[in-house]
């Protein structure tokens, strides 16, 4: 079914076709060509980090992180229950057992006050997700990691260019992962990146990303032939995708400004209505700058969410739910270290609704979304009103 206002619409920044044509003309369509190098340089410079490697997805960057940390069957990895499967699956693939943390009711990010009791002598890593592009409480999480000698990885899929106390997220953990899937602020259809903040991982990351070979040393002229030296896979994207992505990166200011305006318009138009209908809008901590990745609302009940999704559909608007709790999923239970209790995740995952959000969402279309929302009668509200 197609909608007048879809949930997401991939938006071009302008130079995508030109750069792809250039990439084809360059005669380097495989990975690590000139456009990949330019994307690496862009992110390394903007974020001020030692090394960034483009990958075929954020999922694959997370798999690289699990390999780099040598996660195995003896290890436990703490992940929020409220996240995309890849955050957990990447570590389960290495045999690690998962421990699910509940999230904060305000930001929906891993609740740092619940973290320490989840740590055991087997804990190898804590993976945080900056949900909706809003940073986690990183000082506390990093301090807990340091106190216990546990590595912190940031799944920064939603949050490129958000700042925690003036520092970019994705630069705080030893490793971080980015997504350039078509729903993200900067996209190339499918794509991702591994951000390497601890230089000790650089050489091995190059090997893992190149099928476990020392091919990059060969290209640098350091060995006369390349060979299989470690586990790895094919995690590098074609230079054609990097060409598309570079066009998006170069429009960073424009893209972020458009998204900031969409987010602010939703917030401002809906604030009063939300307040009087028991709907919660996103909370952005005062010391954080968000990435304007999505706009979600927490509705009074699961039934309200279902009815509101249908109401929006009737006006050709697609609103969507988000993650279902990992700790309750079939695989989530199978790969868990032990059973977990995550009541906040269970509650909010049933009530969360995401609104259409893309760079080129017009004022008119956005007004149509907000006026349609405001015509909806919540069950509790109509009971109160009658």
Ligand X SMILES: Cc1ncc(COP(=O)(O)O)c(C=O)c1O
Task: Report the residue from 51, 94, 97, 181 that binds ligand X according to the rule CB under 6 A.
Answer: 181
Output the smallest distance, CB 238 to ligand X, in A: 15
H/E segment holding residue 154: strand 151-155
Q: Which is nearer to ligand X, 86 or 216 (CB)?
A: 86
Restricted to residues 29-68, the positions that interact with ligand X (CB under 6 A) are: 57-59
Contact flag: residue 129 with ligand X (CB under 6 A): yes
Output the smallest distance, CB 354 to ligand X, in A: 11
State both tokens at 164: 């925690």
Q: Which is nearer to ligand X, 112 or 304 (CB)?
A: 112
Contact flag: residue 192 with ligand X (CB under 6 A): yes
Contact flag: residue 176 with ligand X (CB under 6 A): no
Q: Which is nearer to ligand X, 214 or 248 (CB)?
A: 248
Contact flag: residue 8 with ligand X (CB under 6 A): no
Task: Give ∠ CA 65-170-74 in degrees, rounded to 5.
Answer: 30
User: Residue 129: beta bridge partners?
Assistant: 155
What angle do the packed helices 16-26 and 34-47 form, to 10 degrees?
130
Residue (of 134, 178, 172, 175) closest to 153 by Cα position: 175
Alpha helix ranges (H) inside the chain:
16-26, 34-47, 58-68, 85-92, 138-148, 202-209, 215-219, 239-250, 252-277, 302-314, 330-334, 343-351, 363-375, 379-385
Task: Report the residue from 8, 81, 83, 340 that binds ligand X according to the rule CB under 6 A.
Answer: 83
Answer yes or no: are the C-beta atoms of 125 and 79 closer than 8 Å: no
Q: Which is nearer to ligand X, 88 or 274 (CB)?
A: 88
Contact flag: residue 155 with ligand X (CB under 6 A): yes
Contact flag: residue 86 with ligand X (CB under 6 A): yes
Task: Report the residue from 157, 207, 236, 369 that binds ligand X according to the rule CB under 6 A.
Answer: 157
Q: Which is nearer to ligand X, 157 or 251 (CB)?
A: 157
Restricted to residues 221-280, the positions that interact with ligand X (CB under 6 A) are: none
- CA torsion sign, 62 to 64 to 69 to 72? positive
Q: Which residues bind ligand X (CB under 6 A)?
A: 57-59, 83-84, 86-87, 129, 155, 157-158, 179, 181, 192
């Amino acid at each position: 079914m197609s909608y007048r206002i879809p949930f997401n619409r991939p938006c071009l920044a302008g130079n995508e076709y030109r750069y792809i044509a250039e990439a084809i003309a360059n005669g380097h369509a495989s990975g690590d060509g000139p456009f990949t190098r330019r994307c690496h340089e862009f992110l390394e410079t903007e974020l001020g980090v030692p090394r960034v490697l483009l990958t075929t997805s954020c999922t694959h960057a997370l798999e690289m992180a699990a390999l780099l940390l040598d996660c195995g069957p003896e290890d436990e990895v703490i992940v929020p229950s409220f996240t995309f499967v890849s955050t957990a699956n990447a570590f389960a693939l290495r045999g690690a057992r998962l421990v699910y943390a509940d999230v904060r009711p305000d930001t929906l990010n891993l609740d740092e006050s619940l973290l320490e009791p989840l740590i055991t002598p087997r804990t190898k890593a804590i993976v945080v997700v900056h949900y909706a592009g809003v940073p986690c409480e990183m000082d506390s999480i990093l301090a807990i990691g340091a106190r216990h000698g546990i590595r912190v990885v940031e799944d920064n899929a939603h949050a490129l260019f958000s700042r925690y106390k003036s520092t970019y997220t994705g630069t705080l953990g030893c490793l971080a992962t980015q997504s350039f899937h078509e729903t993200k602020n900067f996209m190339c259809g499918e794509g991702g990146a591994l951000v390497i903040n601890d230089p000790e991982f650089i050489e091995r990351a190059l090997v893992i990303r190149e099928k476990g070979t020392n091919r990059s040393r060969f290209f640098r002229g350091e060995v006369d032939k390349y060979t299989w030296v470690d586990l790895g896979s094919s995690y590098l994207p074609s230079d054609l995708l990097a060409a598309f992505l570079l066009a998006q990166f170069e429009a960073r200011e424009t893209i972020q400004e458009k998204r900031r305006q969409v987010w602010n318009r939703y917030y401002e138009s809906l604030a009063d209505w939300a307040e009087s209908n028991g709907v919660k809008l996103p909370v952005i901590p005062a010391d954080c700058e968000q990435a304007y990745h999505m706009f979600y609302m927490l509705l009074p009940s699961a039934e309200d969410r279902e009815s509101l999704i249908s109401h929006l559909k009737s006006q050709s608007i697609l609103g969507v739910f988000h993650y279902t709790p990992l700790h309750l999923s079939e695989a989530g239970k199978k790969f868990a270290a032990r059973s977990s209790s995550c009541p906040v995740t269970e509650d909010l995952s049933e009530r969360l609704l995401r609104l259409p959000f893309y760079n080129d969402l017009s004022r008119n279309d956005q007004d149509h979304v907000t006026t349609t929302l405001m015509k909806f009668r919540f069950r509790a509200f109509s009971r109160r009103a009658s």
